[in-house]
Amino acid sequence: MVSFETDFVIVGAGSAGCVLANRLSADPANRVILIEAGGSGTSPFVTMPAGYGKTTAEFGHSWHYTSASEPGISNRKMLLPRGRGLGGSSNINGLLYVRGQTADYDSWGNLGAIGWSWADVAPYFRGGETYAGGANEFRGDTGPLRVEDLLHRDPTNDAVLAAFSEIGVPLNEDYNSADQTGAFYYQVTMANGRRCSAADAFLRPVMDRANLTVLTDAHCNRVVFEGKRATGVEIECNGVRKLIHARREVILSAGAYHSPKLLMLSGIGPAAHLAELGIPIIRDCANVGAGLQDHYILPMSWQLKPEAFSYNRELSGARLVWNVLRYFATRQGAMTIPAAQTGAFVKSDPSLDQPDLQFHCLPVSGELDAASTDSKPQLSSYPGLTLAPTVLRPESRGHVRLASPDPRATPEIVHNYLDAKADRYLSLKAMRMTRMLAEAPSLARLIVREAYPGPETIKDDALLDYARQTGNTGYHPVGTCRMGIDEAAVTDPQLRVRGVEGLRVIDASVMPRLISGNTNAAAIMIGGKGSDLVLKNGGYDA
């Protein structure tokens, strides 16, 4: 077997892995190998912001996982694309930059993630970004990641924001500052009309470092141990198995589905489950793969009047071809739109301290087919508007388990969407609030009719049935390698895997609780803070 030797080996070149490779290799004395199972992560459709509609639907830039039957949503099987290639899911996500609430991180500390309060993580958010709006107490302007305000505004999105104001939701100039509450145009990871992925920001600028080796199309089969110490990883490239020895540490940054899978393949996980599959047990840890959390998006749509602005026309037929050509010529137009242009963080009850609902709004609509889970909906033939709320901090919990001891096999993934009574209750409130939004004067004047779920869907049972049949993943899986100080935690607050040596997990799987919003910004933050924990630095600029 071919073998290599390094100081640090990082498995996974996604949002956290790219940051780790950058920061661990900044010291020429550290030799670093970054392993990525996908390819280079380069394509015109990755660069094009609206290309996520293609890259998430086609194999090549994403892994097309499918969940097991989800009992809480009528046993549907959810399509779960995850990024494949340098940049990981930051190559195929909707580009929305959301940090979450300061209270999210303070709650992590209360859950045993000591050292991860807002005061601890804020320097990594600031230091990692260059925000087009300029630096202040909350925002940075010297970091590698480009974050911009959406420059393209249109009358329909403006009407959405006006409608929020009319139902009592104020405008918020920067939801990534002190208070998340309010309505806004989303901020995006974009630079001059091009996607700014984690690879663009953190990895590609440093790939010529002599002490950094990046291996693509390299599948990690398992972590190698000597006793209780991780000493390296076994990988496979073009059918050839190779062993990479890590003198200092092995770091898993493969995400909330893959990192627990690799731990279990390596003998760290629920003992009975591993024994069933004939995997030798290094450490019995019942919570590896447990605690899976995700946002569940509830799409609702309206037909707009012919004169109203909508992307349904711009993304169909000859207009789509024209817009693609326009994008490559000017980096402007319809192909620069993210997954949502406007949105809001809203309290379901005025007595709450923090918002518990999020809205994604975009003037486009599709024909929903509840029976289909393996394809994206076709665009509606009429101008449309989609308003999609989600419960920010769901109580439902799922799991990741091995389906086979074969490293190439997709794991068994069950999220248990809508399993918790509180999630069902808040989902109903969110859908009713969405109808209030559509009935506000600024939007009502643009609307012909409610298309989905339709005005006849009134009673709670009918609305919940619609939610079960048509809701979708928020693409925000976290929590399967939870950090904490209790014995049940998979990792400690330094992100070291408990009960073994020389092994850490540094990605979104360590989150004790799902943050209040999209997760890419937080994953990048975890990569930054995690690198300092590895290097024992005192801060982002140490």
From first to last of its 542 residues, what are the pLDDT tens digits of the chain?
667 899 999 999 999 999 999 999 999 999 999 999 999 999 999 999 999 988 888 778 899 899 999 999 999 999 999 999 999 999 999 999 999 999 999 999 999 999 999 999 999 999 999 999 999 999 999 999 999 999 889 999 999 999 999 999 999 999 999 999 999 999 999 999 999 999 999 999 999 999 999 999 999 999 999 999 999 999 999 889 999 999 999 999 999 999 999 999 999 999 999 999 999 999 999 999 999 999 999 999 999 999 999 999 999 999 999 999 999 999 999 999 999 999 999 999 999 999 999 999 999 999 976 434 445 678 999 999 999 999 999 999 999 999 999 999 999 999 999 999 999 999 999 999 999 999 999 999 999 999 999 999 999 999 999 999 999 999 999 999 999 999 999 999 999 999 999 999 999 999 999 999 999 999 999 999 999 999 985 443 43
Q: 226 CB contacts (<8 Å, ≥6 apart)?
A: none
N- to C-terminal Cα separation, the chain = 39
Q: Catalogue the E-assigned strands of 194-336.
A: 194-195, 212-215, 218-226, 229-237, 240-252, 268-269, 283-284, 290-292, 296-297, 300-304
pLDDT recorded at residue 58: 76
259: number of Cβ within 10 Å = 30
What b/e readout covers 207-227, taking b as 16+ CB neighbours within 10 angstroms?
eebebbbbbbebbbbbbbbee
Helices (H), 36-101: 44-47, 52-55
- Nearby residues of 165 by Cβ (< 8 Å), 6 or more positions away: 171, 183
Q: How far is Cα 118 from Cα 108, in angstroms, rounded to an integer?
A: 9
Q: What are residue 483's DSSP bridge partners?
A: 491
Contact at 8 Å (CB) between 390 and 423? no
Q: Say how far apart CA 278 and CA 187 lie, in whole Å.
A: 48
**What Rg do the C-alpha atoms of the chain give, in angstroms?**
22
Residue 439, token pair as written in the block? 């009935």
**In terms of pTM, does the model score above 0.75?**
yes
Rounded CA separation 290/287 (Å)? 5
10 Å Cβ neighbour count for 532?
16
DSSP for 439-475?
HSHHHHTTEEEEEES-TT--SHHHHHHHHHHH-EE-S
- Catalytic residue numbers? 476
Number of helical (H) and strand (E) elements in the chain, helices listed first: 15, 29
Q: Is the dihedral of CA 450, 454, 458, 460 positive or negative?
A: negative
Domains of the chain: 1-59+83-148+192-254+281-292+479-542 (3.50.50.60), 151-185+296-391+418-470 (3.30.410.40)
